[in-house]
Structure 1
Amino acid sequence: MLGAGTFRDDLGASVVVALVALPLCVGVAVASGVPAELGIVTGVVGGLLVGCFRGSSLQVSGPAAGLTVLVYEAVHTHGPAALGVLVLGAGVLQLGMGVLRLGRWFRAISVAVVQGMLAGIGLVLIAGQVYALGDVPAPGDMPGKLGGLVDLTGRAEWAAVALGAGTVLIMAGWQRMPDRIRVVPGALVGVAAATAAANLLSLPAQRVQVAGVLSAVEPLGVTDLGALASPAAVGTVVALALIASAETLFSAAAVDRMHDGPRTDYDRELVAQGVGNTVCGVLGALPMTAVIVRSATNVQAGARTRASRVLHGAWLLLFAVALPQALSAVPLAALAGVLLHAGWKLLPTRAVVTLWRTHRGEAVVLVATAGAIVTTNLFEGVLIGLALAVAKAAWETSHVHVEQVWEDGVLCLRVVGNASFLRLPKLLDALESQPGDRPVRLDLSGLRHLDHACLTALDGWARQRERRAGTPGRESAPEPG
């Protein structure tokens, strides 16, 4: 049972987290092309339902900016009515992965790919929210968004731009305030200031359209499941499940480093996320994932147990039901400012500089992943990044070199390392550079790995030497594999 002190700490932290979550829930929903209320519904489910699970003690779940790009593409491609089915499918897939204990394997994903994924999401998010900042409709595809920036200034509503820019400046400057003042979240202060200015000055800026949480929820019917029949929809489900799971479990690893409480059980947390997304899908809401901003705020606000994240869901529900009219006064440009700030924070500029100095291959993978996401889409970009990371790892681990040792008047060429087809040109160059008029013995006993391509090439080289000079063949080698 919770003690009075523990509950008091959790109660205070839950209020702070709810204040951080509210503008983000609304902003992510608007940027995803769905009613603002659906973002709050996902936040409530992430608190009241997922918050009860034991996978992670202090991690907070809800709609995330990291999924905005994928959700927007899904809504644009399959229609708003199909969103619930796609989220339901992703939740069931996450449940299956958790039951099969696949959660721990997400820790094997290259950090450079994850950082590149976040950078790509940040760039796409920024490109889209620049239009929302000026109350201008954004083109549907990335080339259109980039091309439309040329004449954006002529179409923007400058009152809205001022409100959004002011929100960004307040959020950026809020980090320099004393700790006792920063207890109030910067995002809430920025949105509140922009809302007050817009309404007091009657500025011509578009407002959030709110119809009520209960009216926005459209539970799925059996006939809606037919949307999963198309291969494109299945691909979207897989992308949602994998990206949401990866973001959740990487966030868990980061949050575990912030506190001394119980460590995250990755498989249980994956099951919790699966349950949450399944329920969100049934309600037709946005997908959820663990969110590092809210989770870090929860820890920093002094949360002690998972009660804080459950209570934060209750605060969100209370606000949405009791004060829905307050959301109708919020300018869209202010929410765009919040998401622009979030997109900027997703760009790992310092990580790129550090990696370029220490591990340039990782920096290339990071930049290439981000570029692929911007030029294609989120799912294909991540797959390209993973392929590059695997190719880089294979190249770096396939080190092989040839040692020359004279033994009883015979030159022994000892091949050491990992011989794969990636290093075959280098290996053959070293062997073929040997003069053909001297006895040579090939020793492969120093190889830790020998694939079929190298084995075939070495056999061919040895037979050719035997025919030319009658030299001995190769010595024992490991089996290819």
Structure 2
Amino acid sequence: MLPTPLRSPRVLRGEISASLVVFLVALPLCAGVAVASGVPAGLGLITGIVGGLVVGLLPGSSLQVSGPAAGLTVLVYEAVQEYGLGALGAIVMAAGLAQVALGMLRMGRWFRAISVAVVEGMLAGIGLTIIAGQLYAMAGATAPGSGIAKIAGVPELLLDSAGSGPALAALGIGVTTIGLLMGWPYLPRRVRAVPAPLAAVALATGLSLLLDAPVARLKVEGLLGSIQPPGGDDLARLAEVGVIGTVVAFALISSAESLFSAAAVDRMHDGPRTDYDKELMAQGFGNTLCGALGALPMTAVIVRSSANVQAGAKTKASRVLHGFWLLLFAALLPGLLEVIPLAALAGVLVFAGWKLIPLAQLRRLWREHRGESVILVVTAVAVVSLNLFEGVLLGLLLAVVKSAWDTSHLQIQVHGVDDDGDEPRRPVRVTLTGNATFLRLPQIIDTLDGLPHHRPVELDLTGVRHLDHACRTALTGWVDRHNQAIPAPAPVEDRPVVTASR
């Protein structure tokens, strides 16, 4: 029997309609993400199918849709290049199990505590790397290995392409795809009923066939032939330190992206809110199954999720049905995908990469919170120049340091320094108020160094709310050394006194 919300024919028709919209959005993205990740296109379709038919049925979020995400292409590509395609399934499966464990430990809500600047910086770095890498795919060339090399090699790529007919044809198709995606929102509403990625890929494909363009096209194996479960040797590699780091990166980044997507989707509708712990476990179950099938890792994808909400979906049925349509298409009509030029898919991903760069947020942060904007930019640059995992770790470290600095407010007041002529032996009293941590040590020591060298110093710490060990040791040590260096013996009452019991 159908669930109560679906017993209404009108609601059921709405769910079917929404599922078709999501399917048409997901189809080119599943194939494009797979190609950009350096794996067969069928693996992207498998992940999309699992995201619909399996994760779509699980509790957590009602309306967000899961599948292969552009945000993980860089990490997947690096993993495949370093460890091989066979190990990808083992890595994804282990990451999925880690997500399930995190959800069972009720850690889902804690992902909301990650600095937004770090997440946006991560996405910006991923976007820049995707754009640089897919420009090579648009020209039919092989991209360099590192993100910096990809960006630095773009001028040479364009010069080389200018003298090659096939490269110019491929670039033309890619640029046409990007132009269609950029202009689609300005077309009449009736035209915009067709999802932009599908329309752009379809029109670019039709143009390439009409002109008989000499460009590379997508290759798709049968769905069963694409399944590559990890073997014993692949599972054994999970003991390697580098592989463990990759598993952690997969688990944390896919979890953060999924839960941030859930928060964004919740703001788009008035239905049930997301249970973050259950959603994290649902994503973990999906990734565990994807890993067992040797497919790509999945996340909740904001592009598909927003299309689902905007198409009028009210229940989970739309996202489950979208997985069914993907399965039906991949099983019955895989040959239709093989007419798609790779340059068109590259164009879709270049546009997706551009959308990942938060230019509007960066401008706002620079005006209102410059420290956050610095974290965003540094994280993005680190992701491009180092790798995704190290870039995110650096961003998180900067966010923690900034937070510690912002909370370590400290006021320093100096009393009695002007009484030098009256009583040259009277102690100079230094009063600290607030949080005295090692981050404020340079400020405190500079103030102390500026005091008269021939007068004893007394510290008043009664107004200090927090005093860490490093700060306590440095301050008491400075006072002792200063007072002991005064030539004449000081009376007992002039010895340094720390009046706060810390």
Q: TM-score range by the shorter chain?
A: over 0.9
User: Which whole-Å CA distance do the structure 2 matches of 1:147 and 1:432 have between them?
Assistant: 48
The equivalent of 2:37 in structure 1 is 32
Q: How does 1:166-205 map to 2 (within 5 A)?
A: 166-205=176-215
Q: What is the CA distance between 1:181 and its match in structure 2?
A: 2.7
Contact kept in structure 2, 1:447 and 1:478, CA below 8 Å: no
Q: What is the CA distance between 1:361 and its match in structure 2?
A: 1.0
Change (3 A) 1:220 1:466: closer
The amino acid of 2:195's aligned partner reads P
Change (3 A) 1:378 1:478: farther
The equivalent of 2:265 in structure 1 is 255
TM-score between both structures, scaled by the size of structure 1: 0.95
- CA deviation profile, 1:55-81 (whole Å, cap 9, x unmatched): 111111000000000000011111111
User: Which whole-Å CA distance do the structure 2 matches of 1:453 and 1:286 have between them?
Assistant: 47
Contact kept in structure 1, 2:86 and 2:231, CA below 8 Å: no
The equivalent of 2:247 in structure 1 is 237
Q: What is the CA distance between 1:145 and its match in structure 2?
A: 2.2
The alignment's C-alpha RMSD in Å is: 1.9
Q: What is the CA distance between 1:459 and its match in structure 2?
A: 1.6
Q: What is the CA distance between 1:147 and its match in structure 2?
A: 4.0
The equivalent of 2:110 in structure 1 is 105
Pick from 426, 451, 459 the counterpart of residue 442 of structure 1.
459
The equivalent of 1:433 in structure 2 is 450
User: Which whole-Å CA distance do the structure 2 matches of 1:147 and 1:419 have between them?
Assistant: 45
> What is the SS of the residue equivalent to 2:339?
coil
Contact kept in structure 2, 1:19 and 1:188, CA below 8 Å: yes
Q: What is the CA distance between 1:126 and its match in structure 2?
A: 0.5
1:330 aligns with 2:322: no
- CA deviation profile, 1:285-314 (whole Å, cap 9, x unmatched): 000001111111111111101111111111
Contact kept in structure 2, 1:449 and 1:478, CA below 8 Å: no
Overall identity of the aligned pairs, in %: 59
The equivalent of 1:463 in structure 2 is 480
The amino acid of 1:73's aligned partner reads E
The equivalent of 1:280 in structure 2 is 290
User: Which whole-Å CA distance do the structure 1 matches of 2:75 and 2:102 have between them?
Assistant: 21
The equivalent of 2:278 in structure 1 is 268
User: Which whole-Å CA distance do the structure 2 matches of 1:30 and 1:174 have between them?
Assistant: 24
Stretch moving more, 159-168 or 115-124: 159-168
User: What stretches of structure 2 of length at least 5 have no aligned partner?
Assistant: 420-425
- CA deviation profile, 1:108-167 (whole Å, cap 9, x unmatched): 111111010000000100010001111122223334423432332324511111111111
> What is the SS of the residue equivalent to 1:138?
coil
Contact kept in structure 1, 2:457 and 2:479, CA below 8 Å: no
User: Which whole-Å CA distance do the structure 2 matches of 1:254 and 1:380 have between them?
Assistant: 26
Pick from 416, 430, 433 the counterpart of residue 433 of structure 2.
416
1:306 aligns with 2:316: yes
User: Which whole-Å CA distance do the structure 1 matches of 2:468 and 2:458 have between them?
Assistant: 20
Change (3 A) 1:465 1:279: same
The alignment covers a number of residue pairs equal to 479
The equivalent of 1:60 in structure 2 is 65
TM-score between both structures, scaled by the size of structure 2: 0.91
> What is the SS of the residue equivalent to 1:205?
coil
Structure 1 stretches of at least 4 aligned residues deviating more than 6 Å after TM superposition: none
Contact kept in structure 2, 1:417 and 1:448, CA below 8 Å: yes
Contact kept in structure 1, 2:79 and 2:246, CA below 8 Å: yes
Change (3 A) 1:478 1:46: farther
Contact kept in structure 1, 2:414 and 2:431, CA below 8 Å: yes
1:141 aligns with 2:146: yes
User: Which whole-Å CA distance do the structure 1 matches of 2:77 and 2:427 have between them?
Assistant: 69
The equivalent of 2:362 in structure 1 is 352
The equivalent of 2:22 in structure 1 is 17
